[in-house]
Structure 1
């Protein structure tokens, strides 16, 4: 099974990917890990390395790939997926999640993949949530609408997978 999950930051992509990974014993991959060299500094991998990282995953028999990205270099992750889930969660719910994630990270309650500053929090809310471009997602799923599912909650993903697997 090959699953692509996309949506704004804070929509639950990583959370649902981990749940699906555990339930179906399928490895999950974050696109951010293919883009960013994790560490104190925010450094990107060279595009060639980034693209190779993605292609290596796409060649596997099964995978779950999650990320907010919908640019050209990730197009194959939509095409090669058996199912694409677009998380269309309420922006206010996402705002709350982003703020709580920020607070928990600052208090040391939970760990982030990067050091988040207040300016990044604002950027996440304004640009990456309220400014998230769902039109790009529509473009990425053009021609594969039969396997693209717009969902408003995580429970729907499990229901859809079970229904698809029954066929």
Structure 2
């Protein structure tokens, strides 16, 4: 099974990707790890690097890719069996972001606050970005899309 999960910040992409990966025993590619050098959001990677990493990963027989990105992951959308679109409302995503960051012990207070500000800003902009650009990009893949409205999901039911 080849799955691409897309959704706004705090929509549950990482949680669902882990559930699917465990269920199907396959690898996960977190697009934030490809988009930014060593998780440093001030150091984005080059577009060519991103394209190469996604292309290599999608050559596998079974995988899960998750992230909010769309413009440089066309090979993933093309080669996947399903695109799971997590459509959680802005307030719920915001609450998830705040909760997730509060539980991260690997970050300093300053790092947590920086990530919180960045993610909340991205969350505030996501719905407009989806309407203006992402939805149009996904139209050519609409036969693969499963939309999930809410935070409770069973990976087996989605596939």
TM interval, short-chain normalised? 0.7 to 0.9
RMSD in angstroms over aligned alpha carbons? Answer: 2.1
CA contact (8 A) 1:85 1:157 kept: no
**Deviation of the 1:117 alpha carbon:** 4.7
Residue equivalent to 1:51:
51
Residue equivalent to 1:80:
79
Residue equivalent to 1:122:
117
Which secondary structure state, in structure 1, belongs to the residue aligned with residue 147 of structure 2?
strand
**Following the alignment from structure 2 to structure 1, what is the Cα–Cα distance between the partners of residues 19 and 67?**
15
Q: Deviations over 1:124-162 (max 9, x none)?
A: 223x2121022333222212211111211341653131x
Q: TM-score, normalised by structure 2?
A: 0.84
**Following the alignment from structure 1 to structure 2, what is the Cα–Cα distance between the partners of residues 101 and 57?**
27
Q: Deviations over 1:105-132 (max 9, x none)?
A: 3xx2xx36xx735354233223x21210
**Following the alignment from structure 1 to structure 2, what is the Cα–Cα distance between the partners of residues 25 and 41?**
29
Q: Are residues 1:14 and 2:8 paired?
A: no
CA contact (8 A) 2:4 2:80 kept: yes
- After superposition, the Cα gap between the structure-2 partners of 1:69 and 1:21, relative to the gap in structure 1 and judged at 3 Å, is same
5+ residue gaps in structure 1?
162-167
Of residues 44-53 and 92-101 in structure 1, the stretch that sits farther from structure 2 once superposed is 44-53
Residue equivalent to 2:63:
63
**Following the alignment from structure 1 to structure 2, what is the Cα–Cα distance between the partners of residues 40 and 78?**
26
**Deviation of the 1:39 alpha carbon:** 5.7
Q: Within 5 A, what are the aligned runs for 1:88-103? A: 88-103=87-102
